[in-house]
């Protein structure tokens, strides 16, 4: 390290290192107000850190878990949606807590990861969620030349879990169950939202994000172009490219939309909040509250049907109602805004089986002789 005195009376502490990628000498520096033993010591540490940071491209740099996660987050910040970034951010925090942020990733073994995960005392289902994110993180590091060998991942099997295997029929409502649920709801807005999603197949975030201009009564379509991220309280692009779509308003859905319009007009006049651009809005003109609706839906479905459902179950309900009417699975997929859905196919098989059983019952009663 050497020192250069600047024209302004300050001191520039400099050091050279060989750049791994080019083989050329490069220089790092830091400026201090004084040139004393104490400032020289501080400058030396700062320069060493700068060189370490610059040398991370070298294959012999051994990343700690914290360093790897920091680089991973930088990439995620510009490549994934805010909601995904936030979810993965907290997942990585949990991983660092279990495995140790100073642990050198190249030194990890399958045995080490399994034991540290197990020692956390978490449920196996939760551990498997963390394991999925951990493997994605390590594979990202490998694909970005930060790790040289990740074969240990293949040795880490998911933790044995005894999941609550939810029956496919519990993931959606039969038409009679939907009617019973709606009749049991006394909150006008939440009842109409429930009916809207069962008749349209929109995700709850897509419904919350709708502007008045998106509900096109003239052409009888709902323009789905955005999604409300209720975790980060921001409007984002839809889940996928296929999610951008126009949903046709059949007569029942159109009537519900008109009722919601009338309800919002009353709310606007009573609350004196001007004319919000939103299709649905709270009493102060902002986005309706997802958590309030989710809580109301779960409590009322539990009371009326004996089981709690989520807003997403209404999307599955829409699929089942259309399937029962003979609508093709491809048409339903386009209306729901996805290319492929395991649950939709499961519902299709279940509904088809149910209809076949009904047909067989009718045929069994037929007597020719």
* Predicted pLDDT of residue 328: 85
Least confident window among 10-19, 48-57, 258-267: 48-57
Per-residue pLDDT averaged across 24-37, rounded?
91
pLDDT computed for residue 363 by the predictor: 76
pLDDT at 350 over 80: no
- Burial (0-12, 13-18, 19+ Cβ within 10 Å), 347: buried
Q: Quick one: DSSP state of residue 155?
A: G
Alpha carbon dihedral 239, 222, 348, 172, in 10-degree steps, equals 80
pLDDT at 57: 58
Task: With H, G, I as helix, E, B as strand and everything else as coil, classify residue 211.
Answer: strand
- The 10 Å CB-count burial string (b at 16+, else e) for 115-140 is ebbeeeebebeebbebbebbeebbeb
Question: Which pLDDT does position 166 carry in this prediction?
Answer: 56
Q: For all residues of the chain together, what is the average pLDDT? A: 89
Which of 139 and 348 is assigned the larger pLDDT?
139
Place 360 in a pLDDT band, splitting at 50, 70 and 90.
Answer: confident
Top CATH class, 168-360: mainly alpha
pLDDT exceeds 60 at position 50: yes
Q: How far apart are CA 63 and CA 360, in angstroms?
A: 64
Region 122-142: mean pLDDT is 93
Per the DSSP assignment, residues forming a β-bridge with 323 are none
- The overall pTM is greater than 0.75: no
- Residue that wins the pLDDT comparison between 341 and 231: 231
pLDDT of 308: 92
């Amino acid at each position: 390290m050497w020192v250069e005195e600047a024209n302004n009376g300050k001191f520039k502490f400099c050091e050279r290192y060989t750049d791994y990628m080019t083989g050329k000498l490069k220089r790092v520096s830091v400026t201090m107000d004084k040139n004393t033993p104490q400032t020289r010591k501080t400058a030396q540490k700062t320069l060493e850190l700068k060189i370490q940071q610059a040398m991370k491209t070298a294959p012999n740099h051994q990343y700690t878990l914290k360093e790897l996660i920091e680089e991973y987050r930088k990439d995620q910040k510009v490549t994934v949606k805010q909601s995904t970034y936030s979810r993965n951010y907290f997942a990585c925090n949990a991983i660092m807590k279990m495995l140790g942020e100073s642990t050198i990733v190249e030194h990890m073994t399958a045995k080490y990861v399994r034991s540290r995960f197990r020692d956390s005392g978490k449920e196996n289902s939760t551990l498997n969620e963390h394991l999925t994110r951990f493997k994605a993180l390590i594979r990202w590091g490998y694909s970005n030349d930060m790790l040289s060998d990740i074969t240990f991942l293949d040795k880490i099997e998911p933790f044995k879990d005894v999941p609550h295997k939810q029956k496919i029929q519990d993931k959606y409502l039969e038409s009679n169950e939907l009617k019973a649920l709606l009749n049991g709801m006394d909150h006008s807005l939440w009842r109409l939202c429930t009916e809207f999603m069962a008749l349209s197949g929109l995700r709850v975030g897509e419904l919350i994000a709708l502007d008045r201009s998106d509900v096109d009564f003239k052409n009888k379509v709902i323009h789905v172009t955005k999604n409300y991220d209720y975790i980060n309280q921001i409007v984002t692009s839809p889940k996928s490219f296929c999610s951008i779509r126009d949903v046709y308003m059949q007569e029942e859905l159109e009537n519900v939309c008109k009722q919601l319009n009338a309800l919002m007009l009353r709310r606007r006049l009573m609350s004196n909040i001007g004319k919000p651009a939103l299709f649905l809005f709270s009493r102060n003109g902002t986005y309706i509250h997802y958590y309030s609706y989710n809580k109301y839906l779960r409590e009322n479905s539990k009371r009326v049907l004996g089981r709690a459902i989520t807003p997403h179950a209404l999307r599955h309900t829409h699929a089942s109602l259309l399937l029962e009417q003979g609508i093709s699975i491809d048409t339903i997929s386009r209306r729901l805004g996805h290319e492929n859905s395991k649950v939709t196919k499961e519902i299709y098989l279940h509904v088809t089986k149910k209809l076949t059983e009904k047909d067989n019952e009718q045929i069994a009663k037929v007597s020719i002789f």
